[in-house]
Amino acid sequence: MNVTSIAKAKKVLQHQLDILWDNPKKAGLVPPLMIWGPPGIGKSTFIRNLCKENGIGFIDVRLAQREPVDIRGLPVPRDDKQGIDWIVSSEWPRAEDEDTPEKGIILFDEITAADSTLQVAAYEFILDRRLGQLYEVPDGWYIVAAGNRTGDAAVARTMSSALANRFCHLEVGANSASWLDWALINNIDPRVTGFIRYLPQKLFSMEGNKERGWPSPRSWERVAMEMELADQKNLDQDLLQIIIEGLIGDAAALEFMGFLNWSGKIPDVERMLAKEIKVTIPKRSDQRHAMLSAIVHNIRQRDKPEELLDGLFDIILKFPNDWAQLLYHDITLVMDKLGNDDFLEEMFDHPRHQELENKIVL
């Protein structure tokens, strides 16, 4: 199966949602998605975020932590003693319930970690969107599952052919370009984004001791958070390194700390943007990556970033073409996602923008 990026998987999921919502009476014909991929790359996170972006409901079901009765319901003898009825869990969305969102996603996360009895219990729900005669998934709700592959050194069992045949399967992997765009938009620490730009292969690696920390999109996000907190608390550098090693492993941490050491020697970006000092471009590629990340960070932190445009053009036009292209991409991406139209309009109207166009062939 071809591996796709989280960004493309997100577009596929949005497409499936649109199909479902445009044809609610054909809900049973829209195949549920099965998202395969290694741990730590953000499978469940992108699904949850998509629900927030659409303003729809989200139910996260960790099948491995359930019992079959949690899915199928609780058997209760009928009053007439002629059989049993099933009391279905109240967590499932109900069309007749005013508090239930009209649309949403039910995610069966870590489905491959569940044993066969639990997978069987989920068959009817996933395949037929119902539980017997007592419960039916509302038309506006879509079913998605996610799980690790058996070769990922995670808890994973083989999915039955009967269940697998009903899904539309997507296999996702870590993609540094997509992750960096996401990280820029979400203001992940520029030291982390600069490092991943410098060594994109370090975004995800399971080559080390998988029973300890190892690099993944999830662990790098946590590194960024720890670094910001360390700055606030003035944490000793050796203690910060211990934390980083615990998150991404010794080898990746050693390279990252080396990157931090060299990136700490870049020129003062803030003063260059303010035109207080002469523009100086480092020769080392790691320092250039750090500098680009610092420039974007400084611009997005300003209340009126358009005041820095003169200094920005001084810097961006001093970089070689490919570096200028990269910086231009990052700045326009971030400002567009932040909705800062004033900055973008002034940037496009700047008297030196044509010079930049000629340089990087926009």
pLDDT tens, residue by residue, 45-83: 999 999 999 999 999 998 777 777 777 777 777 777 777
Sign of CA dihedral 81, 84, 90, 92: negative
Please name the residue ranges forming H helices in 91-154: 116-128
DSSP string of 292-350, one letter each residue: HHHHHHHHHHSSSGGGGHHHHHHHHTTS-HHHHHHHHHHHHHHHHHTT-HHHHHHHHHS
Q: What is the mean pLDDT of the chain?
A: 90
The reported pLDDT for the residue numbered 242 is 97
Please report which confidence band the pLDDT of residue 181 belongs to, taking 50, 70 and 90 as the band edges: very high
Q: Are 73 and 88 in contact (CB under 8 A)?
A: yes
Give the Cβ contact number of residue 157 at 10 Å.
Answer: 17
pLDDT of residue 304 exceeding 90, the answer is: yes
The reported pLDDT for the residue numbered 48 is 96
pLDDT tens, residue by residue, 281-301: 999 999 999 999 999 999 999
pLDDT of residue 85 exceeding 80, the answer is: no
Q: 255 is written with which tokens?
A: 């390279």
pLDDT of residue 162 exceeding 60, the answer is: yes
pLDDT of residue 153 exceeding 60, the answer is: no
Please report which confidence band the pLDDT of residue 126 belongs to, taking 50, 70 and 90 as the band edges: confident
Residue 297 Cα distances to 158, 267, 269, 292, 335, angstroms: 45, 15, 10, 9, 11
Residue 347 Cα distances to 235, 248, 276, 327, 350, angstroms: 38, 38, 20, 13, 5
DSSP label at residue 158: P
d(Cα 102, Cα 108) in Å, to the nearest integer?
19
Q: 166 is written with which tokens?
A: 């009903």
pLDDT of residue 256 exceeding 90, the answer is: yes
Residue position matching structure tokens 């002469």: 278
Q: Are 229 and 254 in contact (CB under 8 A)?
A: no
Q: Are 59 and 105 in contact (CB under 8 A)?
A: yes
Least confident of 12-21, 148-157, 255-264: 148-157
At residue 169, the 3 state secondary structure works out as strand
Least confident of 147-161, 212-226, 317-331: 147-161
At residue 124, the 3 state secondary structure works out as helix
The residue count of the chain comes to: 362
All structural domains of the chain: 3-173 (3.40.50.300), 176-360 (no CATH)
Kind plus residue range of the DSSP H or E element containing 38: none
pLDDT of residue 150 exceeding 70, the answer is: no
The backbone torsions φ and ψ at residue 149, rounded to the nearest 5 degrees and listed phi first, read: -85, 160
pLDDT of residue 130 exceeding 90, the answer is: no
Q: How far apart are the first and last CA of the chain?
A: 35
Q: Which residue has the higher pLDDT, 122 or 35?
A: 35
Name residue 77's beta-bridge partners: 84
Q: 274 is written with which tokens?
A: 């303010």
pLDDT tens, residue by residue, 8-43: 999 999 999 999 999 998 888 999 999 999 888 999
The reported pLDDT for the residue numbered 121 is 76
d(Cα 172, Cα 154) in Å, to the nearest integer?
16
The reported pLDDT for the residue numbered 1 is 67
pLDDT of residue 208 exceeding 80, the answer is: no
DSSP label at residue 32: P
* Mean pLDDT of the 225-238 span: 95
* Mean pLDDT of the 212-240 span: 95
pLDDT of residue 226 exceeding 70, the answer is: yes
Q: Are 214 and 251 in contact (CB under 8 A)?
A: no
